[in-house]
Amino acid sequence: MTASATSTPRVALVTGTSSGIGEAVVQHFCELGHQVLAVDFNPAGQAVAERAGAAFFQADLTDGEACKAAVAEALKRFGRVDILVNNAGVQHVAPIEEFPEAKWRQILDLMLTAPFLLSQAAWPSMRENGWGRIVNIASVHAQVASPGKAAYISAKHGMIGLTKTAALEGGAQGITANAICPAYVKTPLVDHQIADQARLHGMAEQEVIEQIMLKNAAVKRLIEPREVAELVAYLASDAAGAVTGASWNIDLGWTAQ
């Protein structure tokens, strides 16, 4: 599986790019020669994008108008959108009984409604060019659940449904849609979860990593963001034209049992 050998330079819009997986995707896409619009609500994303050679657009993607504006910015700058990577995400850990409604809504808006609106806005450009790639960063929590993460898990399960529907609708138009389902990746989002889980379960942080995060893993380590970015690049390449509607686990063997 290589993206580099088969990759035509494309225009990509990537969300959630100021750190973690999104940052790694922007870096890798720029190395492959793609023109990239990096979208994030955190102004720190500006410097991250500049370092990689990408353009930056600041947007809070919980706002539907901001989603549309991000795609409009890509079309204004580059004239097209070929690749959309829906990556922006947050986590909030609390049992259902105590889960704040505002957090539920924020997570669903950011991690399910924004990918829908961004796909919708980018679709005409992909259809007109007869070529498009939608890569949704879901999670192992799109396939299995863990306690304390109702909103995140609901949004990620929903993302698989969105991916499959986009694959069916896009098939005849040259548009593919796939989801990537990672287990724990070494990013700031996981650093926060380690602290949250430690509080929730009354455990030390190292115990959370070993006893909760890697409990179901055959490969006993966290995943590197670059490992996810390599899979994104493959799914966004010409070589992956026949691959659509699929969920790609990169989960250390978690769901093998």
Active site residues: 152
Whichever of 60 and 239 has its CB closer to ligand NAD, that residue is: 60
Q: Rule CB under 6 A: is residue 27 a binding residue for ligand NAD?
A: no
Block residue for tokens 């940052």: 23
How far separated are the first and last CA of the chain, in Å rounded?
Answer: 25
Q: What is the C-alpha separation between 200 and 3, in angstroms, rounded?
A: 41
Contact 136, 179 (CB under 8 A): yes
Q: Which of 27, 38, 40, 121 binds ligand NAD (CB under 6 A)?
A: 40
| Contact track, ligand NAD, 67-96, x by CB under 6 A | --------------------xxxx------
Structure tokens at 46: 């500006």
Name which position in 32, 36, 38, 61 contacts ligand NAD (CB under 6 A). 61
Q: How far is the CB of 150 from ligand NAD (least distance, A)?
A: 14
**189 contributes a contact to ligand NAD by CB under 6 A:** yes
Question: Does 148 contact ligand NAD by CB under 6 A?
Answer: no
Shortest approach of ligand NAD to residue 190 CB, angstroms?
4
Could you say whether residue 132 binds ligand NAD (CB under 6 A)? no
**Binding ligand NAD by CB under 6 A: which of 182, 212, 230, 244?**
182
Which strand ranges, in their side-by-side order, compose the sheet holding 11-15?
55-58, 35-40, 11-15, 83-86, 132-137, 175-182, 247-250
Contact code string over 236-255 relative to ligand NAD, x by CB under 6 A: --------------------
Query: Rounded to 5 degrees, what angle do the CA atoms 241, 3, 250 make?
Result: 85
What letter would DSSP give residue 135?
E
- Using CA atoms, how far residue 169 sits from 133, 164, 173, 175, in Å, is 13, 9, 8, 8
Looking only at the bridges linking them, the beta strands covering 83-86 and 55-58 are unpaired
Nearer to ligand NAD, 131 or 193 (CB): 193
Contact yes or no for 184/213 (Cβ under 8 A) = yes
If the CB atoms of residues 147 and 188 are measured against ligand NAD, the closer one turns out to be: 188
Among 3, 11, 16, 52, contact with ligand NAD (rule: CB under 6 A): 16
Residue ranges in contact with ligand NAD by CB under 6 A: 16-22, 40-42, 60-62, 87-90, 110, 137, 139, 182, 184-185, 187-190
